[in-house]
Structure 1
Amino acid sequence: MNPLELRKQFPILHQEINGHPLVYLDNAATSQKPQSVIDAVKRYYERDNSNVHRGVHTLGSRATDAYEGAREKVAKFLNASSAQEIVFTRGTTAALNLVASSYARSVCGEGDEIVLTPMEHHSNLIPWQQVAKATGAVLKYIPMQPNGTISMTDVEATITSRAKIVSVMYVSNVLGVINPVKEIAEAAHRHGAVMVVDGAQSTPHMNVDVRELDCDFYAFSGHKMCGPTGIGALYGKKALLDRMEPVEFGGEMIDFVDLYESTWKEAPWKFEGGTPIIAGAVGLAAAIDFLTEAGLDAIDEHEGRLAGYAYDRLSEIEGITVFGPKEGRVGLVTFNLGDVHPHDVATVLDTEGIAIRAGHHCCQPLMRKLEVSATARASFYLYNTEDDVERLVTALQKTKEFFGHAIG
């Protein structure tokens, strides 16, 4: 895999920001899109645009084939048992809400336990808070080690026979740590609980095999993996999807409708009411093709090396605090520069053409755990290089000089 060659395929990266060549280091928020994905969506609208599962005309058949073909591609990408285990959603948030609203509310009761970690993104926290309020279930948290990792000893101590749901992010969007979700799933299943995985930050960066992980549900977003915004998917074991009720009702998801009673299609279509995100699914399929050709193992190796290099280079700057462990992380580095607010750091970096993320990253409980209100985050992808890291380091040195009074 050649990052410089891959970079040529991303039109947005070939521009200047504030008089400097763009260095895009906000990939954990959303990745950029290669020309092949842009072309796939454009081609769909120019040639095949029609609704799916309805018309018998040629355009309708083409659109349906493209949409269902994308479902097959996602199933193969995740190594699901069949395409019927893939529900298209608006993204990770919508997928996790579907599990919480449909499955969890039907199985949780007073005193049952929902097990999470303190590092969860709000999308994998607030839906479970709502389930707990509605059902009387209790939220429990697996403790974090001082370096931000999860210990299986703590996992075993936290998950009990009262657990109904265990929901954990595969990769932290702040600390970059890779959680042992396969081992956590084994512990959950021993106690009769269902394992839910937030795969928003793992799916773009590593090979994911849902059968190997033996998770019961797995959610991800297309826009973080070179695909369009507004499209994602929920993987669910078929037996679980079959027992779940839809949470949105209307056209497309029905089997039979009478004036006073209706029945639904089988999974996954019963969860996809209304006109689905057809162009998004087409673009997601193209993104999967692009990532498959680049090679997920090569992407994983490249980003791990880049993250280690960035960790070392940032740690050399006096006054910078880098959060999370050096080893066993994906391609992101979260840091603070003395008492300078991360928003100010990001603003100065933007004047140098460098895009990073600053804020609480939708992880306010984790920020409190780290005893900060916000952090800055540089996140890498397959088109980033060591030169991008050096641009970041140089710009941070300038930022440090500018805010010298705030660096202890």
Structure 2
Amino acid sequence: MTMLNGFAYDELSFGADGTPSDPAQSRTAPPLALGADVTDLLVLSHGWNDDAPTARALYDGLTSAMARCGGAPPGLAVLGILWPAKRYGAAPALAAAVAADPTGPAAAALVAGVRDRLGADLGRLPAAPGWGDPGDGQDAFFAMEPQALLDRFGQFGFGLSDVLNLATYYEMKARSAAVGRGLAAVLAAVRAARPYLRLHLAGHSFGARVMASALAAGDPLPISSATLIQGAFSHYGFSRKWDGAHDGLFRPALVGGRLTGPMVVTYSHHDEVLGVAYALASRLADQPDSAVGPLGGPHDEFGALGATGALATPESVWAPMGTFGGQAYAFTAGAVNNLESSLYIPSHTAVTCNEVGMAILGAVNTDEIGTTEAG
């Protein structure tokens, strides 16, 4: 058995289509979950632009923080999931041509090629409704001619790399949701094999979207806790009628008995990455800086969960992130516990501090409720 900072540990890999890389594992409980001494299974997911070594470093950092905090259930095991989340890279010859003329025909050709490939990739995955990610500009991105797209970004001081980063955002958005649906099937197999095993989910960045998708897409299992660390999706993701007509895309995660423990959301005003995609998308929608700001404000449809917390969500409660060594958390089961984390999370990727480990364990150790809201 592999150990990671004192926790039994294993990994499960997923492909770009959201299914396990080994087809035999698609609806089978991982061996780690079948251990007789395992009482709790924590599933971790990395996010955007993380390769396998980077993901493993994240898991090492998070479990190390948890170990330093102490108080984990003796039977807690950790399953790290791996999925392809790297951004685009141009061929050297094309990259050189683009560097020589970053707004010219070579750059436009690169945008066209990337967008064609992106469109093909997205066509293989279920499409999310347009209202599911308010403000992210995906329809506008595909509607504009490549040169017009470069010109539009150029008006605001952005360039080719920003166009490609936004393309990556759209692909990772769809892919992380697909991985979440694939994970839901695996979790169902775990629940069938181990009916009383407590299941916990934690994800960073687009890994938070993986977990939100797994919760919302699957049948009620239930899940004992979910910790979303600097989540890279809309702050209306769990909302009720955010626009007067539509619930958030992941609102089903909070109803029907899917979550019997707490959801914990970290958000930080210092998260420079979460504002990028929304700021770029706002330019496609012709929104001025004054209306959007660098990260999106609490009344801005372009805001991200990890920048502002879960808005327009009746289940939301709010508190500052606790100090390591301070009072233990008293999270509310069935609620979205939003932690203002700016004191401890100075950037999008700096999330392996003791305080984040303390938040994960606080969620894991919260007593559960028997039922959740049904509507």
TM-score (norm 1): 0.29
Higher relative contact order (CA 8 A, sep 6+): 1
Bigger Rg over Cα: 1
